[in-house]
Amino acid sequence: MTRAISLHDVSKAYTRGVRVVDRLSLDIAPGEFLVLLGPSGCGKSTVLRMIAGLEDIDEGRLFLDGEYGNDLPPSDRDMAMVFQNFALYPSMTSRDNIGFPLRIESPGADPAPRVDATARMLGIEDLLDRFPAQLSGGERQRVAMGRAIARHPSAFLMDEPLSNLDAKLRNRLRAEISQLTRELGVTTVYVTHDQSEAMSLGDRVAVLRGGVLQQVGTPRTVYSLPGNVFVAAFIGTPRINLLRGLVRAPLDGAMTISLGKQFLRLPEPLSPDHRLLRVQQGREVIVGLRPEAVRIAKPSAARTGEVALTGLVEHLEFQGHEVLVHFDTGSRPAVVPDLEAPHPRPERPDRRRRREGTALHRLRERVGALRAGPAAAPPRPGPPDPAPASAPAGPRVPGDLVVRTTPDIRLRHGMQVPLLVDLAHLFVFDRSGERICPNPARLPDLEE
């Protein structure tokens, strides 16, 4: 029997009242494979442990198959957990490790038939008489999974089970996990910070940041229609191009988005999505372009909805089946503060009070990071200025626009190249980081 799991406004706080999970609501259907995705420390594992009963829920309610489950002990939840560090008993063989929970549940029963069946399913029959010290990392993880599978639980809870393995082995075990959970039809909640795992494994992906649920949807939806700039930047390899833009919407001319030295001219008549941008007249926005939304071609080859830019080749990344080209277009990259951090560092109240009212505080208030969005100074009349000298220092990333192309295109460093931008796949985010274009009702298809 598989299990439905529902979380309603669940919160968890540790020291000093800082919430590591903040009013999270999530419904997981029976048999669904749901991935909790986010940067390290964002509360993913805490959510998993609350579902398992290993952490108390401070606020909110947990329902298991529609029944209130906050106070249900872990032993009565019929769930199996697979840990990041394998958690095998070093003094037991693989056979004993897999059979241990079965002996605890049914002391008088012989666990051998279920252990053997599980070993055949995982292809580890020849490892049953070995101790953990005699196994490789991948073999230990298979034994750990076998211990969970042999119990025939109603749900699997997997806490970054592949993070300690090398890349080649991760890819192989990822496929095995996907196949096993599909064959068993058991509800699975999988925690990871690796967006490649999330996109390839999950029926749905729930993106967390700072304990707050940012977006939940199918892998295609969260990639093609991110709810905010954090989700857009966190999901996708290479990362989405984020550029600072300024909307120009004169009554007697074409609407444009200035990117610094160049601009995107929105074709007339304006699409319903682009008409929504009129309210951003004179405001700074964040423009998002996936690497596949831009192609190398002359303006004469433009299709409907494509506009021209030019770029100077600054760096080439040969990937075998594709090439990632870094262009300098004279645009100003947008910064998503603390993108990899789970949440901003908390500030002591007394220190905050001393800072309030100062000129430095007012300046930081204007350009400070919002919870899910980029730092952006308020727009000023006239053409956009270059990035301020006070912008955060850091290693220089070559180019401001990354384009994915085929390896047969011959490019060299310093070459001036014509580019075509498909405006059907243009993302625009406001200063708070929320998506304002495209309209939530429309899901773009990057394969069109």
Read out DSSP for 415-429?
A: -EEEEEEEGGGEEEE
Higher pLDDT, 371 or 288: 288
pLDDT reading at 144 higher than 60: yes
Distance CA 79, CA 152 (A): 9
Does the pLDDT of residue 264 top 60, yes or no? yes
Q: Compute the distance between CA of residue 380 and CA of residue 261 in angstroms, rounded to an integer.
A: 16
Helix or strand or coil: residue 49? helix
When pLDDT is averaged across residues 373-402 and rounded to a whole number, the result is: 46
Q: Which residue has the tokens 């220089």?
A: 396
Range 246-278 burial, b when 16+ CB lie within 10 A, else e: bbbbeeeeebbbbbbebbbebeeeebebbeebe
Its sign, for the CA torsion 364, 365, 367, 370, is positive
What single-letter amino acid sits at 74? P
The residue among 199 and 279 whose pLDDT is bigger is 199
The pLDDT score that the predictor gives to residue 175 is: 86
Q: Report the mean per-residue pLDDT for the chain.
A: 83
Task: Return the axis-axis angle of helices 112-122 and 137-149, rounded to nearest 10°.
Answer: 130
Q: What is the mean pLDDT of residues 290-299?
A: 94
Report residue 222's pLDDT band, with 50, 70 and 90 as the boundaries.
Answer: very high
Q: Is a pLDDT exceeding 80 seen at residue 15?
A: no
Q: What are 249's two structure tokens? A: 């919407």
Q: Is 35 exposed, middle or buried, given 0-12, 13-18 or 19+ CB atoms closer than 10 A?
A: buried
- pLDDT tens digits along 399-425: 899 999 998 888 999 999 999 999 989
Alpha-carbon gap, residue 40 to 208, rounded angstroms: 10
The angle formed by the CA atoms of residues 226, 432 and 267, to the nearest 5 degrees, is 65
What contacts 24+ positions apart, CB below 8 Å, involve 214-223?
214/38, 214/372, 216/26, 221/443, 223/199
Place of tokens 């059979």: 99
Higher pLDDT among residues 141 and 296, named by residue: 296
Q: Please, what is the Cα angle at 385 between 379 and 386, to 5 degrees?
A: 125
The pLDDT-based confidence of 445 (bands split at 50, 70, 90) is low
For position 22, what pLDDT does the model report? 94
Query: What is the predicted pLDDT for the residue at 380?
Result: 37
Q: What are the backbone angles phi and psi of residue 197, rounded to the nearest 5°? A: -60, -45
The answer on pLDDT for 107 being more than 70 is yes
Please, what is the Cα angle at 42 between 203 and 180, to 5 degrees? Answer: 30
Least confident piece of the model among 177-186, 328-337, 359-368: 359-368
Q: Residue 402: name the closest of 313, 320, 286 by CA.
A: 313
pLDDT of 447: 46
- Burial of 298 per CB tally in 10 Å (0-12, 13-18, 19+): exposed
Cβ atoms of 155 and 2 closer than 8 Å: yes
Residue tagged 């929504």 (tokens): 276
Q: How confident is the model at residue 12 (pLDDT cuts 50, 70, 90)?
A: very high
pLDDT at 243 over 70: yes
Beta strands in 75-227 (DSSP E): 79-82, 155-159, 187-192, 204-209, 212-217
pLDDT tens digit sequence for 339-367: 655 554 554 444 444 444 555 544 444 44
Tell me the C-alpha distance between 177 and 173, whole Å: 6
Model confidence at 165, pLDDT cuts 50, 70, 90, reads: confident
Residue 376 has pLDDT above 60, yes or no: no
Per the CB < 8 A criterion, the answer to whether 138 and 172 are in contact is yes
Which residues, including other chains, have CB under 8 Å from residue 386's CB and lie 6 or more apart?
A: 260, 332
pLDDT of residue 366: 45
Is the pLDDT higher at 274 or at 46?
46
Which residues share a beta bridge with 242?
A: 288
Please tell me the least confidently modeled range out of 27-36, 198-207, 224-233, 376-385.
376-385
How far is it, in rounded angstroms, from Cα 180 to Cα 82?
14
Q: Looking at the predicted structure, is the pLDDT value of residue 310 above 90?
A: yes
Domains in the chain with CATH codes: 5-224 (3.40.50.300), 240-381+397-437 (no CATH)
Give the model's confidence band at 309: pLDDT under 50 very low, under 70 low, under 90 confident, else very high: very high
Amino acid at 184: L
pTM for the model? 0.81
By CB atoms closer than 10 A (0-12, 13-18, 19+), residue 222 is buried
